Amino acid sequence: MARVGRACIDRYEAHLVLPGDGGQDAVHPYFERPQKGVSYKAVAAPGVFPQAYINRLEAEQACTNAGKRLCSLAEWYRACQGSRGFIYPYGNTETKGKCNSGKGHLLSKFFGTNSRNWKYEDHFNSPMLDQQPGFLARTGEYASCVSSYGVFDLVGNVHEWISDKVDPSLSTKIPLQEDIQKKVGPRTGNAIFMGGFFSTTSEHGKGCRFVTIGHEAKYHDYSTGFRCCRDAKP
């Protein structure tokens, strides 16, 4: 983990393991939904595919099972901005290819361009999507997508659930695009994920300021992932 202010944050996006007898952990397939009633633990490591298809409640429990918690918006944002307050983890000017973002949308590629025909379970949660070569990357694979604190993949790869909920104070925590600001009131109470994923650009904010506020805590799809934090020791 990396020390960021009063918190420690995982350097890599999380994957899920199921602790076994004798210390042998079974890794859950990153492209499959977590099974109900299974007590997964969140693990952060380089060179593995991060867990997708996970909702905020499941991510929160996996962090708890690892002795950690979901990061707050302030913790996540500070880790992404780095010590110099950059817009992107590496600086204020976007450099294409430094982070895993801006790639084509797989839903359109496989299920047609008419979004009205896309179905939540069959399409948004199709295990096939995150197994496509060249889209989801292994943790730390984009070595230049790292903040000054040494935290990787905060922009792109998978969206990351945080602990905050949408409320009127959101604009005091992170700069919001005007169209997002107008939606805060009607979205009050929704869960939040940050950073964008491999197919986003700046639709909901640039770099570290990318925020999605339109979903409840039980939402999940091929883009949703997470990482964990914990309080730093004095």
In terms of Cα–Cα distance, which of 38, 50, 67, 39 is closest to 12? Answer: 50
What single string gives the DSSP state of each residue in 45-103?
Answer: -TTSPPP-S--HHHHHHHHHHTT-EEPPHHHHHHHHHTTTT-SBTTBSS--TTSSB-SP
- CATH number of residue 81's parent domain: 3.90.1580
Q: Is it the case that residue 13 has pLDDT exceeding 90?
A: yes
pLDDT category, 168, cuts 50, 70, 90?
very high
State the average pLDDT over residues 103-112.
95
pLDDT value for 25: 87
The pLDDT tens digits for 206-228 are 999 999 999 999 999 999 999 99
Of 21-25, 79-83, 127-131, where does mean pLDDT reach its minimum? 21-25
State the average pLDDT over residues 134-153.
98
pLDDT category, 9, cuts 50, 70, 90?
very high
Q: Is it the case that residue 20 has pLDDT exceeding 90?
A: no
**Would the pTM count as exceeding 0.85?**
yes
What is the domain count for the chain?
Answer: 1
**Both structure tokens of 210:** 């990318």
Task: Report the percentage of the chain scoring pLDDT > 70.
Answer: 100
Q: Is it the case that residue 50 has pLDDT exceeding 90?
A: yes
CB 34 within 8 A of CB 127: no
- What's the domain range around 181? 2-231
State the average pLDDT over residues 154-163.
98
The pLDDT tens digits for 78-98 are 999 999 999 999 999 999 999
pLDDT value for 167: 96
Which residues have CB under 8 Å from 171's CB, separation 6+?
Answer: 181, 184
